[in-house]
Structure 1
Amino acid sequence: MAGIMVVGTASSAGKSLTAAALCRIFNNNGLRVIPFKAQNMSLNSYVTMEGLEMGRAQVLQAQAGRIEPSALMNPILLKPTSDRKSQVIIKGKPYMNMDAVEYYEFKPQLKAMIKEIYNELQAKCDVMVLEGAGSPAEINLKDDDLVNMGMAEMADVPVLLVADIDRGGVFASIYGTIMLLEEHERKRIKGIIINKFRGDKSILQGGLDKIEELTGIPVVGVIPFMNIKLDEEDGATHFNCTKGGDIDICVIKTPRISNFTDFDAFRFDEDVNVRYITSPEEVGYADMIVIPGSKNTIEDLRWLKRAGFEEVIKKFKGTVFGICGGYQMLGREIIDEEGWEVNKGEVERGLGIFNTITVFKGEKITTNVEGTALGHKIYGYEIHSGKTFNNENPFVKINTKQGEMVDYTDGEHVGDKYFGTYIHGIFDSNEFREFILNRIRRSKNLEEKKSVDLRERREEELEKLAEIYKDNLDMDYIYKLIGRD
């Protein structure tokens, strides 16, 4: 069994997509491949078919390898709940909330578990593709490292270092990263990949030669800047407009926004613009306002009211859509019965659009679902704390949960203006996305359009990604690294 690891000079250098590209390239060559990231920190998570939670980067990599995502591919997921604490999720299930000191004292206990899981997965495939986190040269975090060079050593795999040239300072970041490593760690790095290059590669040659001379490590690829429509790298999404378009959607960027990949689907609708906003003044002439998911719903609800969004939402003439925490905020009140976010038993007034009451009590709900919304097919997943009651006008009918037949309803709506649902990824469903967008198009006297099937387009984008990497990487060298000459 073989493996290879991808680390980066910094967050968003391109580790996740590089690992995804390798997964698809290896799989296209007939190899059984499994992705692995020992520890991930992200508020963008996914629910597997077993109802377990994992980081979305490894989901994309599993899809690239044409296998079903498993929480074992990301055994530790940290979801920040505040500036000081994170929810620690182990093997897909919430464990407890910890601050940084508590977690680093706890972390050594996780090594044996990670090694066991890695060996279990490795026995099922031809090659493991591992991803690091942040930078391997975070010298203040190197003790008991579980995810970068420490993981590479546990797995005994060669390492590729990815650097982002688009940010500037690429050669300094490569050299600095390598020089801050221990000698035995430097020896494990077998190749350098320069990512997001714009222009003629020949103008880089002098720099490539010099960095190879200084480090003794070959540059195995220069990847051009790409327009690939795949999930953003965890924690690195830039909340900007996606493009110009006739339809304008505002997503309120709350302080604890989570699962903002819910809106990536709109990138495939060419006449749709998505903006992330933080003040009511930015709403302008938007067609739809979205209140997204939140890792701290009550805190974000309070922020929403202080910022002045309540009045704007109530007077807004377009569509308002709340997802998960956003759905809870649109209700009459939220009761924190068990003190999950605020004081035990504390009640927070909602925006009052729906007559619903949400109670924070019991276990976290994580499940995959399929069904219909106003008669249109949907699929997605629930990942939330609390339950919502007093649903007078649910608009989603769930008929499949975790692959089994069920029959229950979800969400709430008021006329054709206000909608709320627990289902993340509902806009990935092309039938429902098309329905919502065509309602807006008709109201603006625009031509109705078909929305693409996101699953099919993701496959196309993954193939495109793999071709770009295959054309710009020394794959013969990389195959030698994994023992596949």
Structure 2
Amino acid sequence: MHSKPASETKNRPIMILGCTSDAGKSLVVTAICRLLANRGIKVAPFKAQNMSNNAAVTADGLEIGRAQYLQSLAAREEPCSAMNPVLLKPSADTFSQVIVNGRVNAEIAELPWMERRELLWPEVQKSLQQLQEEYQQVVIEGAGSPAEINLRAGDIVNMSVALECQADVYLVSDIDRGGSFAHLLGTWACLAPEEQKLIKGFVLNKFRGDPALLGNAMDWLEEKTGIPTVANLPYYRHQLPEEDSFRLGAQWMRGKINIALLYYPYASNLDEFDPLIYQEDINLVPVHQNVDLSQFDALILPGSKNSGVSLAFLRETGLDKRIADFKQSGKLILGICGGLQILGEHIADPLNIEDGDKNGLDLIALQTEICAVKSTRRRSLNWLGENIKGYEIHHGKTNAEAEVLPFIAQDLGWRQGNVYTTYLHGVFENKVFYNWFMKQLGGLENGFEWSEHLDCELDKLADMFALHGWL
């Protein structure tokens, strides 16, 4: 009897769980996907439910979490909605838009949290089964911690998934925070016996210093649980997108091109500014309180999951007047998606999808209506003689007055004086746009195609994991 070729061999799914949020689950899954892909294995990422306002659009116009999009690129596979069947996008303190299989589902969003499982779990099962049938290896990411006892009844993303596919589970702890061995032991102890049997190894992540300092702690943990610590991953600095956080704390710096990024509530898709963050001659400063903006060279208003609430924040803090003063200086203002809407004259919200009707900052003659149907699509077009790529994710439909000029494309953006706006996310990832932007500021036109840079970063991450991981 002949054995199947390696390309047809199916493996038990690998699942990465964390003791806490931000333990490093996403990065570990990303590393494994690229490592296996580089070994010629057809691999796909999977996260049943993600909560993040950083989203991406698949080739067929469906919406998934940005982390799963990156993981699919790491796997060298085309992203699809099955990789993240449920996406929650917070738009208020106690409300999130629910994306199911890439599309908005308003009915489920209105249900109490614990009543959603009956409707969502079958979609998770179908997506997981689809990936298992199409790929040799599925690498699964959990969410938060599987030890949150209060959420177990409604779980569709942690141990429910592990049990469904009998995954080989690895539990990750952020040792940089301290208390790592207690986190691992306590999390394991909170699991049911049939769940504990699926745990194949513990992973220490973000370790700094001499490994000898760990002493016999790993042996002690194995004596308590019967589970070995299979990896001690170093604190690894990279230039890959963050899943749902942003780098705060930057301040104005002399000798740099200083760009202010308005960091209002529900700001979204902030990873698209990574090409600015990692350039040595640029200093991107998140602004979330009333400060003098006149010292900055440019001002960016990013996307928002709730433009009305973001706009109200600008008025409450007095930043609306700072932005108006900045316009008078003649320096460049760029609004992307929600930022576009905020800079305009009026936001109509007849269905109360966001925060009701609002008057905008009135810095460009645009009127926006928040519509029930959400636009989600990739775009590729010619601009300044070169190809520029990006994606749209927005409910708003915007119209411009006659005095407003088109920007990038007739239906994608507008400009009036020194105020530029666009619905196209990801513009800075294109060399042609980056260089145009820097030319306006008198800076270095040293841009490059960000996708190529990310690909190199993914290979470096895989190399690190090959050295310190268990595969």
The two structures share one fold, judged by TM-score above 0.5? yes
Distance 1:142 1:348 in 2: 40
Alignment partner, residue 473 of structure 1: 469
Matches within 5 A, 1:369-384: 369-373=379-383, 377-384=387-394
Q: Deviations over 1:332-356 (max 9, x none)?
A: 111112222245xxx4211111111
Alignment partner, residue 403 of structure 1: none
Could you tell me how far 1:282 is from its partner in structure 2? 5.6
Distance 2:251 2:59 in 1: 31
Distance 2:431 2:209 in 1: 36
- What secondary structure does 2:373 align onto? coil
Distance 2:239 2:275 in 1: 9
Could you tell me how far 1:92 is from its partner in structure 2? 0.1
Q: Do the aligned partners of 2:121 and 2:156 also contact (CA within 8 Å) in 1?
A: yes
- What secondary structure does 1:394 align onto? strand
Pairing partner for 1:322 from 335, 354, 362: 335
Amino acid at match of 1:411: G
Pairing partner for 1:300 from 291, 299, 310: 310
Could you tell me how far 1:279 is from its partner in structure 2? 1.5
- What secondary structure does 1:117 align onto? helix
Is it true that 1:420 corresponds to 2:398 in the alignment? no
Q: Do the aligned partners of 1:376 and 1:432 also contact (CA within 8 Å) in 2?
A: no
Q: Deviations over 1:94-141 (max 9, x none)?
A: 001666862320212222221122111111111000000001111100
Is it true that 1:288 corresponds to 2:290 in the alignment? no
Could you tell me how far 1:257 is from its partner in structure 2? 1.1
Distance 1:98 1:110 in 2: 9
Q: Deviations over 1:368-403 (max 9, x none)?
A: 012245555421111001200025211112xxxxxx
Q: Do the aligned partners of 1:84 and 1:100 also contact (CA within 8 Å) in 2?
A: no
Q: Do the aligned partners of 1:85 and 1:97 also contact (CA within 8 Å) in 2?
A: no
Is it true that 1:87 corresponds to 2:97 in the alignment? yes
Q: Do the aligned partners of 1:25 and 1:466 also contact (CA within 8 Å) in 2?
A: yes
Q: Do the aligned partners of 2:33 and 2:75 also contact (CA within 8 Å) in 1?
A: yes
Amino acid at match of 1:331: G
Distance 1:188 1:277 in 2: 45
Q: Do the aligned partners of residues 282 and 235 (structure 1) sit closer, same or farther apart at CA in structure 2, a change above 3 Å counting?
A: farther
Q: Deviations over 1:203-231 (max 9, x none)?
A: 21322222222221111111111111001
Matches within 5 A, 1:1-400: 1-2=10-11, 3-96=13-106, 102-232=112-242, 234-241=243-250, 246-281=256-291, 283=293, 285-316=295-326, 317=329, 318-343=331-356, 347-373=357-383, 377-390=387-400, 392-397=404-409
Any gaps of 5 or more consecutive residues in structure 2? 1-9
Q: Do the aligned partners of residues 237 and 179 (structure 1) sit closer, same or farther apart at CA in structure 2, a change above 3 Å counting?
A: farther
Amino acid at match of 2:249: N
Higher mean displacement: 94-103 or 44-53: 94-103
Cα RMSD of the aligned pairs, angstroms, is 1.9
Q: Do the aligned partners of residues 282 and 460 (structure 1) sit closer, same or farther apart at CA in structure 2, a change above 3 Å counting?
A: farther
- What secondary structure does 2:442 align onto? helix
Q: Do the aligned partners of 1:249 and 1:275 also contact (CA within 8 Å) in 2?
A: yes
Q: Do the aligned partners of 2:45 and 2:72 also contact (CA within 8 Å) in 1?
A: yes
Alignment partner, residue 449 of structure 2: 453
- What secondary structure does 1:142 align onto? helix
Q: Do the aligned partners of 1:84 and 1:99 also contact (CA within 8 Å) in 2?
A: no
Distance 2:382 2:248 in 1: 30
Aligned residues: 455
Q: Do the aligned partners of 2:353 and 2:372 also contact (CA within 8 Å) in 1?
A: no
Could you tell me how far 1:51 is from its partner in structure 2? 0.6
Pairing partner for 1:410 from 412, 429, 433: 412
- What secondary structure does 1:451 align onto? coil
Distance 1:329 1:376 in 2: 29
Any gaps of 5 or more consecutive residues in structure 1? 398-407, 443-447, 476-485
- What secondary structure does 2:40 align onto? coil
Distance 2:117 2:251 in 1: 38
Q: Do the aligned partners of residues 159 and 237 (structure 1) sit closer, same or farther apart at CA in structure 2, a change above 3 Å counting?
A: farther
Q: Do the aligned partners of 1:197 and 1:223 also contact (CA within 8 Å) in 2?
A: yes
Identical residues among aligned pairs (%): 38
Distance 2:217 2:270 in 1: 38
Higher mean displacement: 123-132 or 98-107: 98-107
Distance 2:110 2:350 in 1: 27
Q: Do the aligned partners of 2:170 and 2:202 also contact (CA within 8 Å) in 1?
A: yes
Q: Do the aligned partners of 1:9 and 1:135 also contact (CA within 8 Å) in 2?
A: yes
Amino acid at match of 2:408: V
Distance 1:282 1:68 in 2: 44
Q: Do the aligned partners of 1:324 and 1:424 also contact (CA within 8 Å) in 2?
A: yes
- What secondary structure does 1:389 align onto? strand
Amino acid at match of 1:11: S
Distance 2:251 2:21 in 1: 21
Amino acid at match of 1:413: R
Q: Do the aligned partners of 1:373 and 1:395 also contact (CA within 8 Å) in 2?
A: no
- What secondary structure does 2:197 align onto? helix
Higher mean displacement: 65-74 or 205-214: 205-214
Distance 2:167 2:251 in 1: 38
Distance 1:177 1:309 in 2: 44
Q: Do the aligned partners of 2:268 and 2:305 also contact (CA within 8 Å) in 1?
A: yes
Distance 1:53 1:261 in 2: 16
Alignment partner, residue 5 of structure 2: none
Distance 1:438 1:258 in 2: 26
Could you tell me how far 1:74 is from its partner in structure 2? 0.1
Amino acid at match of 1:314: A
